[in-house]
Amino acid sequence: MRLFAACENQGWKPSLVPFDPFDMVLTTDTHALIYYVCGQKKKLGRRARAVFQRVERGLDTLLIPFTVLEEVMLLSEAGKIRLPLPFRDLVVSFMQADNFDLGVNDAQLLLEAAALTGIKDPYDRMIVAQARVSGLPLLTGDEEIGESDLVRTVWD
């Protein structure tokens, strides 16, 4: 799959291994995905880095919330991050990879986020809501989210 050529140069390549129902599935926060995709793996916590390595090998699956993709798009357009390939190609790559699932914003997610008034950042609220609605741990180094005990987090 040549869509990943630019990412492969950064050491990032999603696996096309068939889904195993015993895989671990996790969701990701924006900064974790950015660190991973942009080749800044040293910024990831030890456990988060291990999860991404397992996802690369097709052993685990990563749910990417719609809100995370929205933030990545906005940060890229504003020039605050430099993606290894155009944003549209990155999303298509995730869509085609068996070890990445893309979250969908719907009414259930919005209702869950509305109840999370202790989290001030609206993007974080939607990301935590996605993890809660999906019943999945969240890859994040965000201390506010970690200390909230609203969702199980994975980082260090």
- Summarised one tens digit per residue, pLDDT across range 78-94 is 999 999 999 999 999 99
Percent of the chain with pLDDT over 90: 85
Predicted confidence at residue 132, as pLDDT, reads: 97
- Summarised one tens digit per residue, pLDDT across range 22-33 is 569 999 999 999
Which CA distances in Å does 140 have to 8, 15, 33, 78, 143?
24, 22, 9, 23, 8
Give which of 116, 121, 122, 113 is closest to 148, Cα–Cα: 116
Bridge partners for 147 per DSSP: none
Fold of 23-137: Rossmann fold (3.40.50)
What is the sign, positive or negative, of the torsion defined by CA atoms of 83, 45, 141, 92? positive
| Residue 56 to residue 144: CA distance in whole angstroms | 28
- Summarised one tens digit per residue, pLDDT across range 94-118 is 999 999 999 999 999 999 999 999 9
| Residue 24 to residue 40: CA distance in whole angstroms | 23
pTM score of the predicted model: 0.85
Read off the pLDDT band of 1 (50, 70, 90).
very low
Read off the pLDDT band of 2 (50, 70, 90).
very low
Predicted confidence at residue 100, as pLDDT, reads: 96
Percent of the chain with pLDDT over 70: 85
